[in-house]
């Protein structure tokens, strides 16, 4: 199991081959749900299976257009079908990818640009042409494609690899637990000790020395305040040979809280799907669906909030640490880490206030 996990962390290993090995392991340990998931990723999803959200990609419809004389006037030209999408109650710009992982890998190997085109079936093109021709009587839509950024296709591979890592780490822990059932753990003596053992991983984008030093100081500040905070620079000093991909995923998954330090560089890399920042951010976005309180997004207050916030989390609460320091002595930050309210409301009284009635006077002339 440990050897297989190491293979998963090595991104050079082909995912399609790892899935075959994963299938054998899941069958061996009779993990039926995991085996079913792996089988779908190997062979592709059927209509009745439904499709995971990470296989539904936001793209754009582009088309080949002819005039009434059969001359090609536009090739791969963007076309807006938003009105039709509203009518059919289905977003036509969304590309569904049901194919097996090996097919996706082969398709990506053949793409050299930053975008990919997937042909839309002819019967759907005919339907789209009816609407298009109605609005453009002199033109016909003769071909249509979904145009999507290549990184969004690559994210499918990243997401499946992450799912496998999480699933097999969980399975590995279950196996280790069953082997050590006779081990009795000492109970935590106090809530203070429990607080000190709360693990925090700080995620950030490598920038200039000033920014990186400030992140290091921030981690050290948290440790001085009684939190078991860590970061990549701390962990890399503790091991002579570091697998940064494994360290990153372990740091996020094995921590009670993850503090994400936003910056211009973080926003840029997250939105361009670049490097470790994008991998960490994609894990965060996915985990936030189930663990809403695990992630705390902060920035140092040097830039404006909108300048450092990736589009995917525009609606999420972002903490200005400079403001929290000056006005609250970091009380808001500590409250988020400890999951405690800063405002203590009264308990709901058992006695409900009665509404005074207006008495109607007897009718008398």
What's the whole-number mean pLDDT along residues 212-234?
90
- % pLDDT > 90, the chain: 58
What's the whole-number mean pLDDT along residues 311-319?
91
Q: How confident is the model at residue 192 (pLDDT cuts 50, 70, 90)?
A: very low
Residue 9 maps to a domain: yes
pLDDT at 190 over 70: no
Q: Is 298 exposed, middle or buried (0-12, 13-18, 19+ CB in 10 A)?
A: buried
pLDDT at 196 over 70: no
DSSP conformation class of 140: E
Residue 179 maps to a domain: no
The predicted pLDDT at position 320 comes to 96
The predicted pLDDT at position 189 comes to 47
C-alpha closest to that of 79 among 118, 122, 136 = 136
The predicted pLDDT at position 125 comes to 95
Residue 179 near residue 171 (C-beta atoms within 8 A): no
The predicted pLDDT at position 44 comes to 95
3-state DSSP assignment of residue 146: strand
Residue 180 maps to a domain: no
- For the stretch 247-252, contacts whose Cβ atoms lie closer than 8 Å and that sit 24 or more positions apart, written own/partner, are 248/276, 248/279, 248/280, 249/9, 249/162, 249/165, 249/279, 249/283, 251/201, 251/203, 252/201, 252/203, 252/280, 252/283, 252/284, 252/287
pLDDT at 176 over 80: yes
| Least trusted range by pLDDT, from 128-132, 205-209, 287-291, 303-307 | 287-291
How many domains, the chain? 3
Residue 108 maps to a domain: no
Same domain, 90 and 219: no
Residue 219 maps to a domain: yes
C-alpha closest to that of 59 among 142, 158, 157, 153 = 153
Same domain, 204 and 139: no
**What CATH number is given to the structural domain containing 320?**
3.40.50.11530
C-alpha closest to that of 255 among 230, 279, 277 = 230
The predicted pLDDT at position 181 comes to 62
Joined together, the tokens standing for residue 180 give: 């050590």
Residue 103 near residue 180 (C-beta atoms within 8 A): no
Residue 349 maps to a domain: no
Domain that holds residue 310: 192-338
What's the whole-number mean pLDDT along residues 168-179?
86
The predicted pLDDT at position 202 comes to 93
Number of continuous H segments (helices) and E segments (strands) in the chain: 16, 11
The predicted pLDDT at position 241 comes to 55
CB-based contacts of 44, cutoff 8 Å, min separation 6: 98, 99, 100, 103
Same domain, 145 and 169: no
CB-based contacts of 199, cutoff 8 Å, min separation 6: 228, 229, 230, 254, 255, 256, 257
DSSP characters over 251-301: HHHT-SEEEEE--HHHHHHHHTT-HHHHHHHHHHHHHTTT-TTTEEEEE-S
Same domain, 44 and 72: no
Same domain, 137 and 203: no
Q: How confident is the model at residue 193 (pLDDT cuts 50, 70, 90)?
A: very low
Alpha carbon distance 248, 251 (integer Å): 5
What's the whole-number mean pLDDT along residues 224-237?
79
* Sheet containing strand 72-78, strands side by side: 72-78, 60-67, 139-149, 115-119
Alpha carbon distance 191, 171 (integer Å): 30
pLDDT at 182 over 80: no
pLDDT at 229 over 70: yes
Residue 267 maps to a domain: yes
Angle at 252 between CA 265 and CA 215, to 5 degrees: 45
15-73 tens-digit pLDDT: 999 999 999 999 999 999 999 999 999 999 998 889 999 999 989 999 999 999 999 99
C-alpha closest to that of 66 among 147, 148, 146, 132 = 132
Same domain, 20 and 169: yes
CB-based contacts of 52, cutoff 8 Å, min separation 6: 45
pLDDT at 138 over 90: yes
Same domain, 20 and 166: yes
241-281 tens-digit pLDDT: 556 666 777 788 788 999 999 999 999 988 887 777 887 88
The predicted pLDDT at position 237 comes to 57
Same domain, 133 and 20: no
What's the whole-number mean pLDDT along residues 295-311?
93
73-87 tens-digit pLDDT: 999 999 999 999 999
């Amino acid at each position: 199991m440990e050897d297989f996990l190491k293979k998963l962390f090595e991104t050079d290993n082909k995912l399609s081959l790892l899935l075959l090995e994963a299938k054998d392991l899941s069958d061996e340990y009779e993990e039926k749900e995991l085996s079913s998931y792996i089988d779908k990723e190997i062979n592709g999803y059927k209509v009745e299976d439904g499709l995971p959200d990470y296989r539904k990609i936001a793209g754009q419809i582009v088309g080949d257009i002819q005039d009434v004389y059969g001359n090609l006037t536009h090739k791969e030209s963007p076309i807006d079908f938003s009105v039709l999408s509203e009518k059919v109650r289905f977003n036509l710009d969304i590309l569904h990818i049901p194919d097996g992982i090996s097919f996706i890998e082969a398709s990506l190997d053949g793409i050299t640009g930053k975008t990919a085109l997937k042909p839309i079936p002819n019967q759907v093109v005919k339907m789209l042409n009816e609407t298009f021709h109605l609005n453009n009587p002199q033109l016909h839509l003769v071909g249509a494609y979904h145009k999507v950024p290549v990184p969004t296709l690559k994210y499918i591979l990243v997401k499946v690899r992450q799912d496998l890592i999480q699933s097999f780490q969980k399975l590995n822990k279950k196996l280790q637990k069953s082997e050590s059932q006779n081990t009795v753990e000492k109970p935590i003596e106090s809530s203070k000790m429990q607080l000190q053992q709360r693990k925090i991983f700080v995620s950030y984008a490598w920038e200039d020395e000033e920014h990186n030093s400030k992140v290091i100081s921030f981690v050290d500040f948290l440790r001085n305040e009684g939190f078991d905070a860590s970061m990549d620079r701390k962990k890399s000093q503790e091991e002579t040979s570091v697998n940064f991909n494994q360290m990153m995923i372990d740091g996020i998954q094995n921590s009670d809280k993850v503090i994400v330090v936003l910056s211009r560089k973080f926003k840029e890399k997250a939105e361009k799907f670049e490097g470790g920042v994008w991998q960490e951010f994609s894990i965060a976005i996915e985990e936030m669906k189930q663990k809403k309180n695990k992630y705390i997004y902060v920035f140092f207050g040097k830039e404006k909030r909108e300048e450092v916030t990736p589009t995917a989390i525009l609606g999420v609460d972002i903490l200005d640490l400079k403001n929290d320091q000056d006005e609250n002595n970091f009380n808001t930050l500590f409250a988020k880490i400890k999951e405690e309210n800063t405002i203590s409301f009264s308990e709901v009284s058992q006695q409900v206030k009665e509404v005074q009635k207006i008495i109607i006077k007897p009718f008398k002339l």
